[in-house]
Amino acid sequence: MHVAAWRGGPATTAPESGRQHVLVVDDSEEFLALLRDLLEDEGYRVTTSLDPIGTATVARIAPDAVVLDILFGSEQRGLDLLRQLREAPATAATPVVLCSAAIEPIRRIDGELLGETTGLVLKPFDIDGLVAEIERVLGASGEPDGRRGERW
């Protein structure tokens, strides 16, 4: 399922298969568009959201991984979503890559939220570093990397 998210919430279009699905959650439309294009060029199917959506929506979208900003304005809503994802049985094992320029909130992250299926990339970043971190958390979750044959 390819979903584009706007301020009104996700809007579903035609399903796609064969590529790993990444949900990107960030409060910048420009960053979402850039990351969508870069990750699609890397062979991923991408869903975007301007707001931290609920765990039920994440479970319904069923991404293979989530790239999540920490700060939305001055609020740490990305960390709130990460906590909710880790507490909900349907999303507890979903790989998440935190992608943020905010270093101070990262230093205060509860160790229980981190683990093999939680990664971190600091903004600004290069796409190869982000892709490597996405692949690392996907591998840590036991998610097979079905894209390799398509990429190379």
57: CATH: 3.40.50.2300
pTM of the model: 0.80
Q: What is the pLDDT of residues 88-119, one digit of tens each?
A: 999 999 999 999 887 776 666 666 666 778 88
> Which residue in the block uniquely carries the two structure tokens 């991984």?
65
Q: Mean pLDDT over all residues of the chain?
A: 81
Pairing of strands 3-6, 9-12: antiparallel
In a domain, 62, yes or no: yes
In a domain, 149, yes or no: no
Closest CA to 134 of 17, 31, 43, 30: 43
**Which pLDDT band holds residue 58 (cuts at 50, 70, 90)?**
very high
Range of the domain at 77: 3-143
In a domain, 152, yes or no: no
**Cβ contact 71:90 at 8 Å:** no
Looking at residue 111, its pLDDT comes to 63
Q: What is the pLDDT of residues 130-150, one digit of tens each?
A: 999 999 999 987 765 544 333
Lowest mean pLDDT among 12-21, 45-54, 113-122: 12-21
In a domain, 151, yes or no: no
Mean pLDDT, range 48-77, rounded to an integer: 90
In a domain, 148, yes or no: no
Cα separations in angstroms, 49 against 15, 21, 81, 103, 149? 17, 14, 13, 22, 28
In a domain, 13, yes or no: yes
Q: Which two tokens stand for residue 62?
A: 């069923």
pLDDT of 46 strictly over 60: yes
In a domain, 51, yes or no: yes
Lowest mean pLDDT among 44-48, 59-63, 69-73, 127-131: 69-73
What's the domain count of the chain? Answer: 1
Q: What is the pLDDT of residues 27-43, one digit of tens each?
A: 999 999 999 999 999 99
In a domain, 32, yes or no: yes
Distance between CA 137 and CA 152 in Å, rounded?
Answer: 20
